[in-house]
Amino acid sequence: MDLSRFPRRRYTPFATPIEPMPRFSAALAATCPGGEGPDVWIKRDDMLGLFPGGNKTRKLEFLVADALAQGADTLITCGAPQSNHCRITLAAAAREGLKCQFVIEERVPGSYNPRASGNHFMFRLMGVERIMVVPAGADIGAAMEQLAADLVAQGRRGYVIPGGGSNAVGGLGYVACAQEMQEQWFEMGLRFDRILVGSGSSGTHGGLVAGFVGNRIDIPIVGVGVSRDPEQQEPLVMKEAQAVADLLGLGLQVPRDAVRSVGGYWQPKYSVPNVRMIEAVQMLARTEGIPLDPVYTGKIMAGLIGLARAGEFSPGERVLFVHTGGLPSLHAYEGVVLGEGEAVAP
């Protein structure tokens, strides 16, 4: 597939590493039936540009290029408190000399603290222009359009980026990732049996699905839901994957069986810590020295661990975990992830 016809800003001058995790794999196997488990590797998208990077960086390469092509002077986006997407969008704006405004949805009442550490510190440090805070369930799209209308009244031009950067343009970032991985596997002489990725606003999961289908990569992708169970999540991923495929002009229907997700690891609510997330964050940090974040990657890794313990992977099956970043938010949950704060059973 030819991505060169789409405008793109490059924020990462290298392919993110694919690394084995032998100590983690051994520790996991010791807790699996028969003492055997999968051979787990990691795709280090936490090392993407717009430091500290994450999956949103790939999407923003295409979204920001589109904003610049349209003459925008301000990026407008949305997220929950401690949003990694908002932080990386702000970093892209700073890189490009643009302003940036947020709509923050307080999904858990009382969770927004403008003086918090983690990503909130980064918001202040990088100079976010405006933050509109709305309650859970508010019309986020309408709130972002209001910010855009306010800019028009000032003689400015905003560019609205959906939550997570998840639309067809943003999804191109993970089509590019699929192509990058395909080349890496060839050069490294690797073959993976399964890819495991987070599934939230659906841009990463859906973009990868479109990239795999378009490039004829016959490896199953499993999305671990971070805010929904499969019956709600999979239709969103299908819609995103099809939108990306249509934008690329692939002329095909994305197969329904190309989209698979698992649930049960994100409860009780999005961004609320649970004991399996804490175990996952501690386990990877103490075996491989790699941090995960409590909102996304910690719960995604908890899903991988849970699937392995349930016998969903064959012994020695090679599984690639896509690390989508999120390090700054970890600092806002220090006590919890060290086992000193409150968490709940999932």
Domains of the chain: 18-54+167-337 (3.40.50.1100), 56-165 (3.40.50.1100)
**Hey, which residues does 40 pair with through a beta bridge?**
319
| Range name among 15-19, 60-64, 304-308, 342-346 with the lowest pLDDT average | 342-346
Confidence category of residue 344, pLDDT binned at 50, 70, 90: low
Q: Determine the average pLDDT of the residues in 13-35.
A: 97
201 classed as catalytic: no
User: Is the model more confident about 220 or about 112?
Assistant: 220
CA pair distance 255, 262, nearest whole angstrom: 18
Higher pLDDT, 101 or 340: 101
Residue-averaged pLDDT of the chain: 95
Average pLDDT in the 154-175 region?
98
CA angle 143-146-151, nearest 5°? 135
For the segment 191-213, the average pLDDT, to the nearest whole number, is 97
Task: Give dist(CA 235, CA 213) in Å, integer.
Answer: 17
CA-based nearest residue to 45, from 167, 235, 208, 186: 208
Considering 83, 227, 261, 271, which one is annotated as catalytic? 83
- Antiparallel, parallel or unpaired: β 99-106 and 194-199: unpaired
Share of the chain above pLDDT 70, in %: 98
Place 257 in a pLDDT band, splitting at 50, 70 and 90: very high
Higher pLDDT, 110 or 7: 7
**What is the crossing angle of helices 297-309 and 275-288, to 10°?**
90
Question: What span, in angstroms and rounded, lies between the C-alpha atoms of 133 and 57?
Answer: 24
**What would the mean pLDDT of 180-184 be, rounded to a whole number?**
98
Beta bridge partners of 261: 223
**In this model, does residue 345 exceed pLDDT 60?**
no
* Mean per-residue pLDDT, 116-136: 93
Name the β-bridge partners of 309: none
Is the pTM of the predicted complex or chain greater than 0.75? Answer: yes
Can you give the pLDDT at residue 346?
43
Look up residue 35 and give its DSSP letter.
Answer: G
| CA 272, chain centre distance (Å) | 17
